[in-house]
Amino acid sequence: MILITGGLGFIGSHTARALLDLGESCVLTQRRAPKPNALLAEEIGNRVFLEQVDVTDGEALIDVCELHQVTGIIHLAGAFFGDPFEDARANIEMLFNVVNAARAVGIDRVCIASTIGVYDVADEGALSESLNLPISARHGIPMSKKINELLISQLAPATGIELVAARIGAIWGPLGRPAAPFFPTSQLIHAAAAGRELDLGTIDGGRMPHADEGLDLMYVRECGRALAMLQLAEKLNHRVYNVASGRITTNREIVEAITAALPEVRFDLPAGQDSEYQRSRSWLDTTRLREDTGFELEYDTEQAVAEYIGWLQAGNER
């Protein structure tokens, strides 16, 4: 039984689905009253159990772990976009409570969500987990994740628990936000599926994305499967893993995939890259993930875009 904090969120739901497909059962915690979604509804009460738990409540988390005889934890919950002071405190409390719950019930491995944003470097090419990273960060999310990574490097030897940081790339797909703050993939696909113009007000900088701008994008179903495989791997040789596609996907590729699925849709993006909004020409090295778990991508860009469009046109809002 694997517990996922934030288990009914975007990535959490797909991670739960992947665990089910691999033969596991899950308990999913959510701070608000949990509501099942289309990915998991048929398994609720059978192999999926929902618990309303605030992860800042350490005793409640231990109680849930004991009740469901939890054998592993994937910690995805986080506090962001609120009061910066309270968010920082909550994120540290949640990490300590998760590790303490694992220690209390004898859990051997906890996977903890980190982010591509911890790199924040100008390097080009593949970014490996062994890179020395700057302490600073330009946003609260990567700052919180850097703090967590430092803490788990201390807490793992102190507790004897295998604490694994998963540096997750730019994730998109079913159940995700219609407008992602840092890349335009979701905005393009939602506009195409609905047959409307691209809303530039939802794009970073309020400007038209350029065709050759890109990022290490990963379809959310792939991300969920990678996290599930990390949690269930017989042996892990490292403390930190990149969870990503291992390549740059450009806006041009996304638009071409949209047109392949919906030939009547055309987005005329400016060529090249906007010099004021250039992203680093780098991607995450996924060698560790592939070698230690056997993970390989199952979707190409065209397949993933077509599936997401189909999901939205079937009546799903996200």
Is residue 230 within 8 Å of 164, Cβ to Cβ?
yes
Whole-number pLDDT of residue 118:
93
Select the more confidently predicted residue: 206 or 230. 230
Residue the block writes with tokens 């807490």: 155
Q: Cα(137)–Cα(117) distance, rounded to whole angstroms?
A: 8
Lowest mean pLDDT among 190-194, 219-223, 242-246, 303-307: 190-194
pLDDT at 291 exceeding the cut of 70 = yes
pTM for this entry: 0.94
pLDDT at 201 exceeding the cut of 80 = no
Whole-number pLDDT of residue 275:
61
pLDDT at 124 exceeding the cut of 90 = no
Whole-number pLDDT of residue 280:
60
pLDDT at 165 exceeding the cut of 90 = yes
pLDDT at 246 exceeding the cut of 70 = yes
Residue type, 220: V
CA atoms within a 13 Å half-sphere pointing along the CA-CB vector of 35: 1
Where are the alpha helices (H) located in the chain, listed in sequence order?
10-21, 58-67, 84-105, 140-159, 185-194, 220-232, 251-261, 287-293, 301-313
Whole-number pLDDT of residue 37:
83
Instruction: Read off the pLDDT of each residue in 90-94 and give the average, rounded to a whole number.
Output: 96
Instruction: Read off the pLDDT of each residue in 276-301 and give the average, rounded to a whole number.
Output: 89
pLDDT at 36 exceeding the cut of 80 = no
Whole-number pLDDT of residue 278:
57
Q: Which of 128, 107, 81 is nearest to 241 (CA)?
A: 128
pLDDT digits (tens, 9 = 90+) for 134-158: 888 878 889 999 999 999 999 999 9
Share of the chain above pLDDT 70, in %: 97
Q: Cα(52)–Cα(31) distance, rounded to whole angstroms?
A: 6
pLDDT digits (tens, 9 = 90+) for 203-229: 776 778 888 889 999 999 999 999 999
Q: Cα(318)–Cα(308) distance, rounded to whole angstroms?
A: 9
Which residues, other chains included, contact 201 with Cβ-Cβ below 8 Å and sequence gap of 6+?
A: none
Instruction: Read off the pLDDT of each residue in 87-94 and give the average, rounded to a whole number.
Output: 95
Average pLDDT, the chain: 92
Is residue 75 within 8 Å of 5, Cβ to Cβ?
yes
104, 124, 309 from 183: Cα distances, Å: 40, 18, 18
43, 126, 140, 282 from 40: Cα distances, Å: 6, 35, 31, 35
